[in-house]
């Protein structure tokens, strides 16, 4: 068995490739490349899929966070509360608005923010945050409804980061439909990826959608008329919109395939490793994450898998509050669960195009750990 990559974006199935080629050809022939009919159609289809009233396409998932935070009123000097184990995208986006990222720890079992970790962070902060960003990490839907109920009592806006969790649902409601506003990314490795960059802001609050529409295009209220501060150019082009539309029709099926692969890994019952992710409708199979008992045990497990030709990765090795860039963490904080996770977790190969033979090989290697 040759090496099993952590991900392989070159494995486009032939039927999908020809669908994409047709879509690209029709955009090229149309002569309309930015904010045209493909863009408008994808906005409609995304909003309908999530069950929200508006989707606003933007350049990427980090811009989506920045513009969503701006649209709910986050200003320079405001605090933005989030988790420090989710790749620092929210911290970077907050700094673009000169807001100050602050952190809640996560639950030891799911590594997600909970109502309890949210409340504990809240009492330790020098002032009430203007917004909380709940990241549905690894594709697992956090309990946003409970966090939002508390946030509302304090006048804190709730942003859901769904970049990893498109299609995750609970009680018939999808990730992205619980908060004031949600964001996503179409980076190629996400469950719904473009062939380049893209992102979206999703909301059922019309005034928030209107503000993001202005912010993504220079702050324009109309052509060449600038009314809104913090505008920039952050648009998603017609080619990427057309490609994402094609791929979106396969999203639920791909997520199902991802869940089936995860189930096979769980059934291997690796000794000494615990699954952080687990299969349910609330998990779209974005990443398969396991946790070892300590840092040394993680290295042994990863080395054993590497010897069996299996690539693994760590999401994420450096928590936000320990990043070298000091402005990402102005206030000192200790986050024991987050810090321990960064030392002990790793991710297994999980993408829909893995063959059954490859899945069996990874499962066998896990079973022998």
Ligand X SMILES: *Cc1c(COP(=O)(O)O)cnc(C)c1O
State the residues that interact with ligand X by CB under 6 A. 60-62, 86-87, 89, 135, 161, 163-164, 185, 187, 197, 199
C-beta of 268: minimal distance to ligand X in Å? 26
Tell me whether residue 197 or residue 358 sits nearer to ligand X (CB atom). Answer: 197
Contact 103, 84 (CB under 8 A): yes
Q: Pick the closer one to ligand X by CB: 38 or 234.
A: 234
Closer to ligand X by Cβ: residue 57 or 359 = 57
> Quick one: tokens of 247?
């791929």
Supply the minimum distance, in Å, between the C-beta of residue 189 and ligand X.
8
Q: How far is the CB of 123 from ligand X (least distance, A)?
A: 26
CB nearer to ligand X: give 199 or 270: 199
Quick one: 163 or 354, whose CB is closer to ligand X?
163
Q: Residue number with the shortest CB distance to ligand X? A: 61
Of residues 235 and 361, the one with the C-beta less far from ligand X: 235
Q: Whole-number minimum distance, CB 201 to ligand X, in Å?
A: 12
**CA-to-CA distance for 317 and 56, rounded, in angstroms?**
32
**Least distance from ligand X to the Cβ atom of residue 86, Å:** 5
Least distance CB 138 / ligand X (angstroms) = 9
Closer residue to ligand X (CB): 78 or 320: 320
CB of 346 to ligand X, least distance (A): 17
My answer on whether omega of the bond before 284 falls inside 30° of 0, hence cis, is no
Please check whether residue 68 is in contact with residue 159, taking contact to mean a CB–CB distance below 8 angstroms: yes
Burial of 277 (0-12, 13-18, 19+ CB in 10 A): buried
Q: Are the CB atoms for 365 and 5 separated by under 8 Å?
A: no
Nearest residue (CB) to ligand X, 81 versus 268: 81
For residue 62, the minimal CB distance to ligand X (Å) is: 3
């Amino acid at each position: 068995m040759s090496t099993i990559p952590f991900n392989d974006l070159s494995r486009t199935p032939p039927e999908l490739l020809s669908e994409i080629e047709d879509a690209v050809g029709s955009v090229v022939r149309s002569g309309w490349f930015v904010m045209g009919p493909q863009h408008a159609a994808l906005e409609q289809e995304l909003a309908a899929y999530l069950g929200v009233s508006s989707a606003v396409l933007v350049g990427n998932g980090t811009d989506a966070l920045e513009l969503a935070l701006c649209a709910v009123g986050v200003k320079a000097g405001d605090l933005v509360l989030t988790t420090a184990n989710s790749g620092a995208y929210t911290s970077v986006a907050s700094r673009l608005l000169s807001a100050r990222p602050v952190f809640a720890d996560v639950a030891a079992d799911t590594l997600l923010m909970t109502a309890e970790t949210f409340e504990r962070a809240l009492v330790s902060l020098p002032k009430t945050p203007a917004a909380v960003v709940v990241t549905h990490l690894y594709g697992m839907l956090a309990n946003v409804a409970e966090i939002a109920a508390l946030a509302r009592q304090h006048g804190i806006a709730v942003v859901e980061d769904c970049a990893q969790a498109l299609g995750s649902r609970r009680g018939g409601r999808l990730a992205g439909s619980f908060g004031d506003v949600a964001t996503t990314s179409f980076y190629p490795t996400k469950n719904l990826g473009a062939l380049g960059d893209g992102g979206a802001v999703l909301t059922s609050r019309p005034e928030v959608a209107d503000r993001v529409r202005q912010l993504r295009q220079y702050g324009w209220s109309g052509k060449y008329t600038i009314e809104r501060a913090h505008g920039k150019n952050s648009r998603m082009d017609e080619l990427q919109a057309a490609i994402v539309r094609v791929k979106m029709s396969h999203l639920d099926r791909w997520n199902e395939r991802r869940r089936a692969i995860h189930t096979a890994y769980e059934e291997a019952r690796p000794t000494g490793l615990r699954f952080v992710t687990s299969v349910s409708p609330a998990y779209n199979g974005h990443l398969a994450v396991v946790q070892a008992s300590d840092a040394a045990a993680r290295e042994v497990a990863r080395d054993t898998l590497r010897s069996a030709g299996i690539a693994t990765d760590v999401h994420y090795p450096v928590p936000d509050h320990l990043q070298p860039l000091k402005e990402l963490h102005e206030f000192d904080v200790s986050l024991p669960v987050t810090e321990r996770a960064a030392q002990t977790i790793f991710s297994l190969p999980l993408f829909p195009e893995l063959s059954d033979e490859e899945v069996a090989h990874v499962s066998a290697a896990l079973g022998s750990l």
